[in-house]
Copies of this chain bind each other. A is one copy, B any other.
Amino acid sequence: MCRWMAYQGDPVYLESLLFEQEHSLIHQSLSARKSEVTVNADGFGLGWYDEREEPGLYHEVLPAWSDSNLKSLAKHIKSGLFFAHVRASTGTATNRSNCHPFSYKNWLFMHNGQIGGYEFLRWQLDRLIPEHLYNHRHGATDSEVIFLLMIANGLEKNPESAIEITLAQILDMMKQKNIKDPLRFTAVLSNGEDIIAVRFSSDNHAPSLYCKKFEQHIVIGSEPLDHCGDSWTQVPAGHIAHIKNNAYQIKALPELLKMTA
């Protein structure tokens, strides 16, 4: 499983979240507490918003803890809305094109989870990507194809519906192919204004998703960034968290709840 975090609030240097927390993402990448896979060393990525319309992106195949550039960038880049992701590959190659977050225009997307039986579905899934989006298929991951399908399904106009349609589409295809492995999907999306985080699984093991409100900002992540796990809210499976203006709201997505085992 991958690990990730996202921040919304007063602009801060990225290092304050990436390095200076007691259980920061960089520390997490070396050893896990609440996740099954021990090491997240198969590439990492950053996406951040500033005054420009499209987000900044940084992808690297080295382990996050040994990338000297990351230390300097995190010390000099300031943002009020950013994503960070450390990858543990579930099969596809370690190269930059397979690193999260993925971007499209002003949108960022990152993901933890897995489409069960992806190797038997790649052909079908890629064929669902419409022609006008196909040149945005840079890598070979399930994560990227989910993102492109969400865009095809109206992400820019109605994210909640795009999420529901896309997951239903994938589950349907898994059913046709008689795949028994689950679809696990915890994802974070942003258009540069607000953040949407979804937690879902077709079985009862949805990848974890935590939120915490601080005075001037909100942090969400695959794990708490400190050891006071109690002060973090776990988003229930089948739910969505909507983060805007230093506040978050959690609500159920009825279609997702229906699709849960």
Chain A residues close to B by CB (< 8 Å): 30-31, 38-39, 41-42, 48, 50, 52, 54, 56-63, 66, 68-69, 72-73, 75-77, 89, 93-97, 119, 122-124, 126-127, 129, 131, 134-135, 137-140
Contact = CB atoms under 8 A, between A and B. Distances in A.
Copies of this chain, tallied across the complex: 4
13 contacts: A42-B63, A58-B69, A61-B62, A66-B89, A73-B73, A76-B77, A93-B138, A95-B96, A97-B140, A122-B135, A123-B131, A126-B126, A139-B140
Contact of A72 (B57, B61, B124): B57
Contacts of A69: 57-60, 96
Contacts of A41: 39, 41, 63, 66
A124 B127 CA distance: 10
A76 B77 CA distance: 9
Contact of A119 (B30, B39, B58, B135): B135
Contacts of A75: 52, 54, 56
